[in-house]
Amino acid sequence: MIDFLQMVTSGIAVGSSYALMALGMVLIYKASEVPNFVQGEMALLPVFIAYMLIYTYGQSVFMAFFGALIFAMLLGCFLEFAVVRRAKNPNILGLIIITIGLEMVLLGFVSWKFGADQRVMPFPISSYSSFMFGNVYISTLDLLTLVAALVIMISLFLFFRFSKLGVAMKATQQNETAARLMGIRTNRVKMITWGISATVGTVAGLLLAPVFMEPYMMWDPLLKGFAAAVIGGMTSLPGAVFGAYIVGIVEHLFGGYVSMEYKAVVAFAVIVIVLCIKPSGLFARHYVKKV
Amino acid sequence: MKNTLWTVLLGALLVLGFASAGYSEVGVTDTEIHIGQWSPQTGPAAPWGAVARGTDAYFKWINANGGIHGRKLVHHYFDDAYNPAKTIAGVKQLQEQTGMFAWASGVGTACGLAVRDYLMENKIPWVGPSSGSRHWVTPPQKYLFNVYPLYLGDAQVLTEYAITKMGKTKIAVVYQEDDYGKQGLEGTEYVLKKHGMELAAGVPVSLSDTDMRPHAMRLRQADADAVLLFVTPGHVARVLGTAKAMNYEPQWMSTTTCGDFPLMIAITKGLYEGVITASFGLAQPTGNVGGVEHINDPRLERLAKFKTEIFDEFAAPDERWGYTFNAGIGFVEPLVEGIRRAGRDLTREKLVKELEKMKDFKGLLGRISYGPYDPEDPLCRIGQQEIFLQQCTADGGSKILTDWQTTEFIPMSE
């Protein structure tokens, strides 16, 4: 029983970082209707900027993290404004290719600028300290990631429900033409959505970096975050978080009871099962356009 | 008279033509020897790219000191991103378009296996693959000279030390799901069987997996008191950190691959202190067992000389003076020595003959020996068979635990 509880707790712990990535993907999917494969690198570059602010410019960890989040916001806005928006009448495949291209450019830039050496980010909380509940443990950093994921999910939920900009974002996603006719600057709304998405992803990156940093560090969380977002239905914020915890818990139970060899890929089997049972994902609400 | 003039002219042209063509061996001219190498400069294995950069700086240093018998070493290395498909494409392109005399080092078992048959069928010497796989000597190949001590040997010496010197009774292995990890697991089980013991746990790690919580939990469940890690430095950092957060702290042990202590101390935020690893050289264990050595220790004369003359002069400004860079020198020293011994009249067959005569050659690594080619004897191409154990100190130094230990070759089971 202790083992089972530990596996579920560890699954929730790892699911939190997947949840942050999934939230970022869902935000962009809601705005631009594209699975965003540059999500990981939109977080990666700000994380390395934070590292540079600490070690090259002698900034404190808090200042560096704040700087990284601001940079992420600007980076997301820039990518939408300078690249995605420029595509002429893009279809979904074209947009996916654009995001994959951006992923390669940003990854190449980080590898070139910062090198391939492995490193770790300084952090106020030790990544090795933990809380023990009986024989079940959760590391302090995992707990912080869990809290961050839940706070960001609730904040985004409130933002979309009650803020003018949030409602404008929802309107843009549901019917861009109608939103534009209502006076919403849909291009600007999309740009800000990309910025927010990059910022949310960067929170995940900054919480992963105290354990390990390298140019490929965001690849696994991106894939698992994508799996979580698909399970949740791609358009639902709570769905993305729920999907992330499903992925994390299933991975750990599978690794513990069935096979450690296939633990890393079981998330994709979960996608297939969910999509067979409910093709639109568990939490999706589709807005059908009348012709 | 006219005919004689034409004959003389034709003769002169032929002589000049042969003279400018220079030398008949592929990749060798009057002034140059072309050596090829692949290495991951990008991709997940990019930290090992320093191997090729170490080799490159070493060759530049040789050239700056007059080359070998009046010829410069021309080093052609390309980025294969640790992708065997790119390795074979790059090797064929360089070999067939430019023409390499020999191939040096080359990171990665899978990448090396992708080109091994091509190089051997074309009788092209390949010296010092940058991985300790048994495939390089099973079966032995006439033109393939291994340098790196086999991972099977690391596992043997580490397990033997854990049992006999440290009194450990529950030994577990965390292993990468490839040749590196599986040969480590095999070597450990081989020694455990000799002592009538069972493996406490064998925990596989997928290369793409970054979440080590279930792995650490499996080790804790098995209550292993010594754990051998046959994984990448990044996975080692993650396993140690996760286990520490679980309050689980066995004696960690690892391989030559994770023996770069200054790097490991940095990426584990100090957790690597006390970890025991195998080492293939750089430090000098003989006469210094129990002592502590650092990579900048002036007592390590050859290393100190290379730091000043090779690294400071020829390495890129942002290069790190570390284990991997130096390994890139150590892996190719036998090749350079073989070319030197072959003399001015250099051919591939002469290089092979000279390498076969090499006995207890000592460069940056341990002693390296080969023998006349015998398809039934893997030892004729095994190169270095000795390693020693070192323990990481708080400041990234190496506490020498043993003198050189000769490892046993374990043949592939049928």
Contacts of A219 in chain B (CB under 8 A): 208
**B292 contacts B398 by C-beta, under 8 angstroms:** yes
Is the pLDDT assigned to residue B14 strictly greater than 70? no
Of A223, A273, A233, A228, give the one whose Cα is nearest residue A248. Answer: A228
Residue B42 pLDDT:
81
Q: Tell me the shortest Cα–Cα distance from B206 to chain A, in angstroms.
A: 6
| CA–CA dist A67, A112 (Å, integer) | 21
Place of tokens 């002036």: B298
Q: Tell me the shortest Cα–Cα distance from A125 to chain B, in angstroms.
A: 12
Q: Provide the total of helices (H) and of strands (E) in chain A, helices listed first.
A: 11, 2
Residue B66 pLDDT:
94
Find the closest chain B residue to A18 by CA distance: B211
User: With an 8 Å Cβ cutoff, are B244 and A212 in contact?
Assistant: no
| CA–CA dist A157, A81 (Å, integer) | 25
Question: pLDDT tens-digit profile of A108-161?
Answer: 999 888 888 888 899 988 888 888 887 788 889 999 999 999 999 899 989 988
Backbone angles phi, psi at A86, to 5 degrees: -75, -15
| CA–CA dist B52, A106 (Å, integer) | 25
* pLDDT band at B74; cut points 50, 70, 90: very high
pTM for this predicted structure: 0.86
- Report CA dihedral (B98, B100, B101, B103) to the nearest 10 degrees: 170
**A142 contacts B212 by C-beta, under 8 angstroms:** no
Q: Tell me the shortest Cα–Cα distance from A70 to chain B, in angstroms.
A: 27
Q: Return the domain boundaries, chain A.
A: 2-277
Contacts of B318 in chain A (CB under 8 A): 115
Contacts of B202 in chain A (CB under 8 A): none
Averaged pLDDT score across all residues of chain B: 91
Residue at A198: amino acid letter:
A
- Fold classification of A2-277 (topology level): ABC transporter involved in vitamin B12 uptake, BtuC (1.10.3470)
User: With an 8 Å Cβ cutoff, are A128 and B269 in contact?
Assistant: yes
Helix (H, G, I), strand (E, B) or coil at B183: helix
B211 interface with A at CB cutoff 8 Å: yes
Is the pLDDT assigned to residue B16 strictly greater than 70? no
User: With an 8 Å Cβ cutoff, are A7 and B44 in contact?
Assistant: no
User: With an 8 Å Cβ cutoff, are A118 and B47 in contact?
Assistant: yes
B204 interface with A at CB cutoff 8 Å: yes
Token readout for B143 is 């033109």
* pLDDT band at B52; cut points 50, 70, 90: very high
Contacts of B241 in chain A (CB under 8 A): 127-128, 211
Q: Tell me the shortest Cα–Cα distance from A90 to chain B, in angstroms.
A: 30
User: How far lies B392's CA from each of A39, A238, B262, B268, B278, in Å?
Assistant: 38, 46, 9, 12, 11
User: With an 8 Å Cβ cutoff, are B213 and A13 in contact?
Assistant: yes
User: With an 8 Å Cβ cutoff, are A130 and B247 in contact?
Assistant: yes
Alpha helix (H) residue ranges in B146-248? 151-160, 179-194, 213-222, 233-245
B292 interface with A at CB cutoff 8 Å: no
Radius of gyration of chain B (CA): 23
Which bin fits A213, alpha (ψ -120 to 50), beta or left (φ > 0)? beta
Is the pLDDT assigned to residue A291 strictly greater than 60? no
Residue B380 pLDDT:
96
What mean pLDDT comes out for the span B193-221? Answer: 91
- The helix, strand and coil proportions of chain A, stated in percent and rounded to the nearest 5, come to 70, 5, 25
Contacts of B210 in chain A (CB under 8 A): 212, 217, 220-221
User: With an 8 Å Cβ cutoff, are A14 and B211 in contact?
Assistant: yes
| CA–CA dist A64, A69 (Å, integer) | 9
Who contacts A272 (Cβ-Cβ below 8 Å, separation ≥6)? none
Contacts of B321 in chain A (CB under 8 A): none
| CA–CA dist B134, B180 (Å, integer) | 9
B233 interface with A at CB cutoff 8 Å: yes
User: With an 8 Å Cβ cutoff, are A130 and B246 in contact?
Assistant: yes
| CA–CA dist A99, A79 (Å, integer) | 9
**B174 contacts B227 by C-beta, under 8 angstroms:** yes
Helix (H) or strand (E) run with residue B92 in it: helix B84-93
| CA–CA dist A214, B47 (Å, integer) | 10
Mutation pick from B79, B178, B208, B211 vs chain A, by most beta carbons of A within 10 Å, is B211
Token readout for A276 is 């067979």
| CA–CA dist B109, B125 (Å, integer) | 17
Q: Tell me the shortest Cα–Cα distance from B64 to chain A, in angstroms.
A: 28
**Nearest CB to A6 within list B47, B217, B266:** B217
User: With an 8 Å Cβ cutoff, are A128 and B241 in contact?
Assistant: yes
| CA–CA dist B387, B367 (Å, integer) | 9
Q: Tell me the shortest Cα–Cα distance from A260 to chain B, in angstroms.
A: 6
The ipTM is 0.84
Place of tokens 């750089």: B282
Contacts of A211 in chain B (CB under 8 A): 237-238, 241
Question: pLDDT tens-digit profile of B237-262?
Answer: 999 999 998 889 999 999 998 999 99
Listing DSSP states for B151-162 in one string gives HHHHHHHHHHII
Find the closest chain A residue to B221 by CA distance: A3
What mean pLDDT comes out for the span A218-239? Answer: 90
Domains of chain B in start order, with CATH, are: 24-149+301-381 (3.40.50.2300), 151-279+388-406 (3.40.50.2300)
